[in-house]
Amino acid sequence: MIVRDMLYIDGGWVKPDGSGTIEVLHSATEEALGSVPSGSAADAERAVEAAARAFDGWAGTSVDERSKYLTRIQEGLQERMADIANVIAAEVGMPIHLANLIQAGLPMVDIGSMPQVLDGFPFEERVGNSLVVREPVGVVAAITPWNYPLHQVAAKVGPALAAGCTVVLKPASEAPMSAFILAEIIDEVGLPPGVFNLVSGPGRVVGEVLASHPQVDMISFTGSTEAGRRIGELASRTVKRVALELGGKSANILLEDADLSRAVPGGLNACLLNSGQTCSALTRMIVPRSRLDEVEALAVSAVTEFVVGDPFADGTRIGPLVSKAQQERVRSYIVKGVEEGATLIAGGPEQPEGLERGYYVKPTIFSRVTNGMTIAQEEIFGPVLSIIPVDSEEEAIAVANDSIYGLAGGVSSADPEHAKAVARRLRTGQVEINGGSFNPMAPFGGYKQSGNGRELGRFGLEEFLEVKAMQM
């Protein structure tokens, strides 16, 4: 049992206002993994006030000083990689070999990239008779999700600190443990009191205080579109800046000349990574109707390689989902897909054989899906792929854009220039060309109801800066 009974506020570990706790469950055993404090509105207030007091001092530090702190935090993350990977694999269900690479590795990249970004960043420039300066936005409230719990924290905290902002972090209740490890590292590094604060607790309590607090200058939120709308509503009352990274229902277009032997397994992996618990997952595979039989056969063959099992067992490629509620939600979508007439070619709603305990769902593939079906329009957030046949390239593009979301996408073609031409027509924030790999320095964010603002690299830093013009 990992018991966390203190919050991190104003440079130290402090007792929470109340005695409530949040139980954190092991996704593979359904047993208690540990607990964290259920912070109150008063705890959130204390943290905001500490961040507000610390702002002027931190904003006045040099770029070099902030870079040195961030480098030391990155080094601390590297030292704690095993702890981070183990706890997130247990909370979220990602297989441990992937958790080491992604859940523990990406946060190091996020934080470690900031000194590089700061080096030579134009905080001041001349425009005619004006000196244009970029200054920290102020107190930032970061509200983060459970699917990539520390990566999403680092993608907000790193650039916010680099910009000279102070931070109050509220991690997801389902997977909060790695945020406490980060707080331990920050405490050891010795950031000035109040620059970083951690308050765990329910979104309807802690999150709502942070979103509406007049001393919070910016909200950076990653989560569901529904929750993002609520954040925006509360933040609008004080006209604070809001950066939102929300849902997705991303389309992966396989053009007529695509190498299906690579594109289909690669597309399946881009859907099923982290048991499908990825906002940018390529969950709609749009294919030429003339090649549908070939796509189906390749998909059914490829899915057998995705071994479902304990995230700590050798050979596991898909672990459990994060919670019972998420498991039931995903299964309900699978049932809905069958009811609406999609063709189930792999998987299904039943518990995988031999895995009686744990929040497991079989990797599931539907074919002959139409884009109006529920499984093609709503974000499932589980290991479910919809194969949608179309009769032309124009129809493929229209289907891909026929979504309230616009977070990510993919295009595969034997001609990269042709693929890029199609990618330019997709209303999404990112597009993979022929399976191009994730770039942690490229801007990440979406169009439409997938949110606004961008994270990572230079683009992430710019989100936390205000622009001032001084006429000379």
| Cβ atoms of 234 and 209 closer than 8 Å | no
Residue 251, Cβ density class (10 Å: 0-12 exposed, 13-18 middle, ≥19 buried): buried
Round to whole Å and give the CA distance between 420 and 80.
40
Is residue 279 flagged as an active site residue?
A: yes
Is 434 in contact with 97 (CB distance < 8 Å)? no
Report the C-alpha gap between 33 and 305 in whole angstroms. 29
Q: Which of 91, 279, 296, 379 is catalytic?
A: 279
Q: Is 245 a catalytic residue?
A: yes
CB-based contact 16:40 (threshold 8 Å): yes
Structure tokens at 344: 């189930």
CB-CB contact of 243 with 222 (8 Å): no
Angle at 430 (CA atoms; ends 428, 433), nearest 5 degrees: 115
Give dist(CA 28, CA 245) in Å, integer. 28
Beta bridge partners of 281: none
Pair 155, 279: CB distance under 8 Å: no
Radius of gyration over every alpha carbon of the chain, rounded to an integer in angstroms: 22
The CB density around residue 190, as the number of other CB atoms within 10 Å, is 10
Considering 49, 91, 245, 296, which one is annotated as catalytic?
Answer: 245
The token pair at 403 is 């979504």
Residues tagged active-site: 245, 279
